[in-house]
Amino acid sequence: MEKGKFYGIITPVITPFNEDGEIDFKAFEILLNFLKDKVDGIFVNATTGEFTSLSLDEKVEILKFVKNIVNDKVKLFSNITSTCFKDVEKLIEVSNNLKYDAIIIIPPFFLIPDTKGIEDYFLSILKITEIPLLIYNIPSNTGYSLQVELIRNLALSEKKLIGVKATIDSLNYLKDLILLIKSKREEFSVLTGFESYLVPNLISGGDGGIVALSNFAPDLMKRAVIDFENKDFDSLNETHRKILKLSEIYKNSSSFAGAIKTSLNLLGFPIKRKVRIPLLEDEEDKVEKIKDILSSLKLVI
């Protein structure tokens, strides 16, 4: 099976904050310069980037800032998710004008329409975007999972729908996306949002992952892709086990964003552990547990 249009390791980049809660653009620039030579793409205003705690103006400012720093070095993805469709339209407009490579959106949440309403929602977006769309299925945060059949119907009729980010704890779901959609449209990208499924997704015929650990361990995440492409299965097995162990940092933090920021801080990046309300900054006991995991993998001494 051929690679999808978007393939490899895409980083859902954090949004660094100063102690006063404002965006720390100096630290942001350092992180982006670190990532742009190591990953295949950067997902801006992502879940790990605490997009629900950012104003529309801040999201637009971040989109412009990231484009200016990264330019065309790697693929850029813009999260256009909002409960207000006028904001969605604005984010699409900005992403189009900045020539981002694709937009990504979470299905409607809180006020959830029926199946036809969900389908019409995506069609409304596809009608106005100039760049490709990926659907972001994250049932733990929306309260429901998108049916593969719904995505299939859209994907086989709408060429601008180019892929899915599936942050769902189900290998069968990834399998269904691959067999029912990608087997008929090889450019369709099936990307996991869970690090533990990165290797299984590649082996199954998927295209990689939009994975938060790549904020600070991009080499390890890329190693999985390289091992797979080289058919070095002994190394791939070892890499997979390291990824599984590193994923344990999430269990020792109050949030995904918090775990990544704590790890970056421990590794010497000028990233504060600051997160915005309603998230909580990791307490010292959690920090020590995360440090132990990083140390066990020789990521920090």
Residues with active-site annotation: 47, 136, 165
pLDDT of residue 279: 96
Cβ atoms within 10 Å, residue 83: 12
Indicate the CATH number of 8-218 among 3.40.50.720, 3.20.20.70, 3.30.465.10, 3.30.70.20. 3.20.20.70
pLDDT band at 168 (very low <50, low <70, confident <90, very high): very high
- The structure tokens listed for 126 are 């596809």
pLDDT of residue 50: 98
pLDDT of residue 1: 75
Q: What is the pLDDT of residues 49-98, one digit of tens each?
A: 999 999 999 999 999 999 999 999 999 999 999 999 999 999 999 999 99
* Of 255, 276, 278, residue with least CA distance to 290: 255
Q: What is the pLDDT of residues 253-272, one digit of tens each?
A: 999 999 999 999 999 999 99
pLDDT of residue 301: 58
**Residue 300: pLDDT above 80?**
no
CA 131, CA 115: separation in Å to the nearest integer?
24
User: What residues contact residue 259 under an 8 Å CB cut-off, 6+ apart?
Assistant: 212, 249, 250, 252, 253, 282, 290
This prediction has a pTM of 0.97
Q: Over the chain, what is the mean pLDDT?
A: 97
Q: What is the pLDDT of residues 171-225, one digit of tens each?
A: 999 999 999 999 999 999 999 999 999 999 999 999 999 999 999 999 999 999 9
